[in-house]
Structure 1
Amino acid sequence: MDESRESMESERPRVPEDRTLDARSLRGLAHPLRIRLLNALRRGGPATASQLAAKLGESSGATSYHLRQLATHGFVEDAPERGKGRERWWKAVHAGVRFDDALLRDRDPQVRGAADLFLHEIANNHTQEIATWLGTGSDWSEDWRRASDMSDWTLRLTPEAAEELVHKMHDLVESYRAQASEASAPDTEQVRLHTHVFPVRTE
């Protein structure tokens, strides 16, 4: 499971691509506001607690507290190059995280609970992003509306074939990452891609 592998805009400093979650780091991240804060820093670049509070509709006290918790677990860090005066700027340490399904089977029920919360928050985030696109699509150019996609398929596959399909899809997306990091055309924008592969029972 790949939570968010957003490409940083070309002028932003390069950061390590991914961090694999373990039981401790998962417990530090598995909170709705912390996930939103981390996503905001990855996609929007360094920001202060006040800026993030305004963006997310939260109090600056709440964003400050949860940013410190994210820092304790190594997800965010100070951005001193942006600091001016007394305001503290934060930036994401990694471009994304990787989720290990073994966390759902951990012997510690707290870890399993954190894993479940994390996955449901990611699913909620995907739903909100699609809803936002549907509600604001008319604000974008005809080229971008034509380039968007919302499709689904039903296939009959073995677990091995499904895993192969997932890897091939990820490899295809990765092949565009290099292009994205070098993109300089005036119509270049961040693009979100969601993939969901899961079995369903039929009657």
Structure 2
Amino acid sequence: MTESPEPHVRQLDARSLRGLAHPLRIRLLDALRFGGPATASQLAAKLGESSGATSYHLRQLAEYGFVEDAPDRGKGRERWWKAAQRGLRFDDALLTDPDPAVRGAADLYLHEVATTQTRDVSTWLGNRGTWPEEWSRVWDMSSWTLRLTPEQTRELVGKMHELLDTYRDRASDEDLPGAEQVRIHTHAFPIRTE
């Protein structure tokens, strides 16, 4: 496994990507990363899957080091799982790997990430009325179209990531009154207008 410059963030490589590149595995990992430890049965109910399917895919995720046992949870025969890392880092080189299976896994992974982000926004839009009023005044769904070079785009993305990193330590205080998990999605890609 390649080391990431950020602690608790895993750099995806060709081997680990093949172990993750399945729609249910990505959803299971997200459920554990953002919802905390759970059993296969709990995850099955949450995701609308069979417990047999979630059990199988959790074992596969464990084999590739994405999830691990949560021994401080559960009693008796219940097996609790937790995410092994806080985040994942995708290397664009995977998209041009000489192995077509790796390129296919990279494409599948990116499409699943995009689907998850779309699902997140749709869920927020459908449920925003159930949140306290102060959350209804602070959410954002902006779209900007700028004319940039690849270098300027790289600089812009880097600055956005640096800004978000300044909030990482501030956001880690779980006892902060009114604090909730907030998903931040960024997208930067060229478009053709003709």
Distance 2:83 2:138 in 1: 29
The answer to whether 1:112 aligns with 2:103 is yes
**Identity, % of aligned pairs?**
72
* Alignment correspondent of 1:125: 116
Query: Hey, which bits of structure 1, 4+ residues long, moved more than 3 A?
Result: none
Distance 1:169 1:183 in 2: 24
| 1:64-103 aligned within 5 A | 64-103=55-94
Task: Give secondary structure in 2 for the equivalent of 1:82.
Answer: coil
The normalised TM-score by structure 2 is 0.95
Task: Give secondary structure in 2 for the equivalent of 1:166.
Answer: helix
| 1:1-203 aligned within 5 A | 16-203=7-194
Deviations 1:84-135 (A, max 9, x none): 1101010101001101111110111111110000000000001111000110
Matched length: 189
Q: Which amino acid aligns with 1:186?
A: P
Q: Which amino acid aligns with 1:23?
A: A
Unaligned runs of 5+ in 1: 1-15
Tell which has more relative contact order, 1 or 2 (C-alpha 8 A, sep 6+). Answer: 1
Distance 2:63 2:18 in 1: 12
**C-alpha root-mean-square deviation of aligned residues, in Å?**
1.2
Q: Which amino acid aligns with 1:126?
A: Q
Distance 1:153 1:17 in 2: 32
Deviations 1:73-92 (A, max 9, x none): 00001111113110101010
Structure 1 residue 183: deviation in Å?
Answer: 4.8
Structure 1 residue 201: deviation in Å?
Answer: 1.4
Unaligned runs of 5+ in 2: 1-6
The normalised TM-score by structure 1 is 0.91
Task: Give secondary structure in 1 for the equivalent of 2:186.
Answer: coil
Distance 1:48 1:182 in 2: 26
Distance 1:185 1:146 in 2: 19
Task: Give secondary structure in 1 for the equivalent of 2:137.
Answer: helix
